[in-house]
Structure 1
């Protein structure tokens, strides 16, 4: 089946441009559009969608709140994979604070609105496959940029979220937050990449996170990692 995409943006001209690009792909179909977050929720109630391209600054309901509501309504399977559509945030400027808020709300990544067509298509396919579009190093840079909105004095030992993890899982989470891929973590800890993938899946399940992007956010919020360094 083709990847079912929904376009959510209050600029009709922009939606038209994205639709033309995506409809030219044999494996992608634009099945719905909406002009704001509230309309998007209404449309989703009766439409099956795999990936949502979500603007952030819209009337009535912005993309951050819409993303939060979409993600909160989803459940995860035993491997930590969420049900329902995955959200890609559209931003005008790199490191937009709205993009950061949307990642916290459950978005799987963000794209700039002037993204080249080939990158847009690749991002949609990647997200549909279960990956996050934002690279860990990019996520760290964004979190460093907005570190002022995160808690700054939460003792790691007193954090209930991290208490759910084994020592090895916590070690893997720390390396994820430092921007390492599964392969790099495997080399650092002398493990197989498959074993690292298993640890990552357990971390996401125990902490009820959607993907590595949210894992990085949580690592900062709990004090495991601070802007500019590691505790």
Structure 2
């Protein structure tokens, strides 16, 4: 499994608390995350508000919530400041994405496993992400909330983080389990969207926009 964050001890699995409103969703998320190498903690079916105590006692690194409807006003505010991924079928409003200190990712409930893992990479890196399939732009975290004309995809953010770590295309391909050709495509897309002339400049711009932490 690719290294999700250098500050996390590489000798233990990333702890992911799963909170789902149905046993089927819980089983599906658990199987997917465990297959990717994460240690899954279960929040149960008691509802969003009651799950706060679960977060406090299990001390997860990331929370994954099968939110269904992002319009529920209690969801964004009732959880501690831990990186959180919301799986929902409706787009969040801008305030839900940018409010608070914890990084969040908003993905469709039928998101591919690779996209969920990429979102885990992103929130651990301090990035707010919205799946374009939900009809919203991705929003960069950090002080300079500059908006991009064409937002980066979840995978492009993952590649940008790898570029910031100084990885070669070959190393990125190995870590992300994609081809070098695909890496080159993503790098080219990143340079275009960030209007950068080089990988180094792309990393610099990404840091300025709050997309990555250096």
TM-score normalised by structure 2 residue count: 0.55
For residues 134 and 91 of structure 2, the distance between their equivalents in structure 1, rounded to whole angstroms, comes to 13
On the 8 A contact 1:68/1:105 being kept in 2, the answer is no
What residue in structure 2 maps to residue 86 of structure 1? Answer: 83
Choose the corresponding residue for 1:37, options 45, 48, 54: 48
1:91, CA displacement in angstroms? 1.1
1:54, CA displacement in angstroms? 1.5
Change (3 A) 1:90 1:180: closer
- Give the RMSD, CA atoms, in angstroms: 3.5
On the 8 A contact 1:55/1:63 being kept in 2, the answer is no
On the 8 A contact 1:140/1:178 being kept in 2, the answer is no
The answer on 1:3 being equivalent to 2:22 is: no
Q: Structure 2: 5+ residue runs without aligned partners?
A: 1-11, 138-142, 153-189
For residues 64 and 29 of structure 1, the distance between their equivalents in structure 2, rounded to whole angstroms, comes to 29
Of structures 1 and 2, the larger Rg is shown by 1
What residue in structure 2 maps to residue 112 of structure 1? Answer: 108
Question: Which moves more between the two structures, 191-200 or 10-19?
Answer: 191-200
For residues 86 and 192 of structure 1, the distance between their equivalents in structure 2, rounded to whole angstroms, comes to 27
1:22, CA displacement in angstroms? 1.3
For residues 112 and 206 of structure 2, the distance between their equivalents in structure 1, rounded to whole angstroms, comes to 30
On the 8 A contact 1:89/1:110 being kept in 2, the answer is yes
1:39, CA displacement in angstroms? 2.0
1:41, CA displacement in angstroms? 0.8
For residues 21 and 88 of structure 2, the distance between their equivalents in structure 1, rounded to whole angstroms, comes to 13
The answer on 1:15 being equivalent to 2:35 is: no
For residues 114 and 134 of structure 2, the distance between their equivalents in structure 1, rounded to whole angstroms, comes to 25
1:42, CA displacement in angstroms? 1.3
What residue in structure 2 maps to residue 178 of structure 1? Answer: 149
On the 8 A contact 2:65/2:85 being kept in 1, the answer is yes
For residues 180 and 66 of structure 1, the distance between their equivalents in structure 2, rounded to whole angstroms, comes to 25
For residues 13 and 205 of structure 2, the distance between their equivalents in structure 1, rounded to whole angstroms, comes to 31
Q: Which 4+ stretches in 1 moved above 4 angstroms? A: 97-101, 104-107
